[in-house]
Amino acid sequence: MVLKGLCERIVASKCTSKSSTETVDCTQVPAYLKAGSSDSKFPKVSLWSSIFTSGFSVAESFSESSASEKKAVHSRSSGWAAAVRKVVTSGSMRRFHERVLGSSRTDISSSDGDIWLLGVCHKISQQESTGGVDTSNGLASFEQDFSSKILVTYRKGFDAIGDSKYTSDVNWGCMLRSSQMLVAQALVFHKLGRSWRKTVDKPVDKEYLKILQLFGDSEASAFSIHNLLQAGKGYGLAVGSWVGPYAMCRTWEVLARIQREKNDLGEPPLPMAIYVVSGDEDGERGGAPVFCIEDAFKHCSEFSRGLAAWTPLLLLVPLVLGLDKVNPRYIPLLRSTFKFPQSLGIMGGKPGASTYIIGVQSEKAFYLDPHDVQPVVNISGDTQEPISTSSYHCNVMRHIPLDSIDPSLAIGFYCRDKDDFDDFCSQASKLAEESNGAPLFTVAQSRSFSKQVSSNDVSGDNTGFEEDTFLGTDHVNDTGANEDDWQLL
């Protein structure tokens, strides 16, 4: 009733009987938003999220209709579309979304300690400063580091995905966008180094531009949303439906292999092996997932086709760390992962609204938000117009409480070489030892040893082998009914 009243007030105040006559293309609206029975089983939180995610716009899901169709639209519906567009444009939708799902903040306090951003510590803490030392340099360093991270958001106006009529991923593509940001950052580390920063007064770095081009919104771009959806069909990915962290990690594994086979003679778009650390193939449940060193070497050997014992490695660790919220025992461990030099952050966020978490400060989690809607851009360099990359970066440093994130998430790490890998194993083992029997994941030399550890370690409740319970993962089939098939990690 509250929602209905809100809608009526907006229409009454914003609309006229002669408003624009756009029509809704139902094939563009996610299945879970289509009219249905009142006893729908879809989670209420997910529904709220789908309606009020920041920057969401019903108008973004609209497609051009024929003249005859436009004449058939009732003026009240047209007025509603125009009103929603006006509300979204003014920023009201983001504010209302934050009222419903919880607000994000942009303030940064030096009294909360230093900030760890993907393995780099930015010293802004007053506690460690003496004699009135200015900590502004540390804050400026953090701001530059944050704004240099690649942002990938909802886009509108791209070529239709597959056989669908979707030309936008508004309302449903946030997990795909979060994963694109994580992989893009791995490529930045690999090709440009951790110390790379975006510059304003210098020409655009060609390697940086090549990375952005991989994530363009068309089938021609190797890691586009179009190709991700195609590669992830076996894991339930579908146009217009949400997806969870586990399925997303597996999809990247598939897509990287497909693209590598396409570029058999040249360097693959993702010049590193992918290792998804998850449950055993025999379906065992319980305990923390095991990172097996032998498996890491196997992935590297397969990637190099047996030509090298070691290659750069992208590690993806999908986890379920609780039911409705993250178990408090895991919060310090999650915070510690950002201190790893190999850290790539976390794909996760609020229930039903995935973000890319890239830093922590005390109890805060800093993130990049994919929910702002932006028009598709051409950065291929095949036009005479100057290339603008501003839409791939953000200067607003939002943060949420770390303990408020969804318990279904995925952690990423990038190991450049064997020494880097050895350092990661050492730090991960130490973190597991300090976990009081409930590690995020453990490290073992071989799989046979990991099974022995798993059978003995039953004290923790980390359901790392269990289902993908991200509230946005309910796949909605063509009839609008929810499929309750759970996924093993």
Residues with a known catalytic role? 174, 369, 371
CA 106 to chain centre: 20
Identity of the residue numbered 409: L
- Tell me, what DSSP letter sits at residue 27? G
Residue recorded with tokens 């519906």: 77
- Tell me, what DSSP letter sits at residue 174? H
Q: How far apart are CA 182 and CA 410, in angstroms?
A: 10
Residue recorded with tokens 């497909």: 258
Close Cβ partners of 385 (under 8 Å, ≥ 6 residues apart): none
Close Cβ partners of 140 (under 8 Å, ≥ 6 residues apart): none
Q: SS3 for 414? A: strand
Q: How far apart are CA 293 and CA 341, in angstroms?
A: 18
Whether the Cβ atoms of residue 330 and residue 440 lie closer than 8 Å to each other = yes
Buried b vs exposed e over 157-196: b needs ≥16 C-beta within 10 Å? ebeebeeeebbbbbbbbbbbbbbbbbbbbbbbbbeeebee
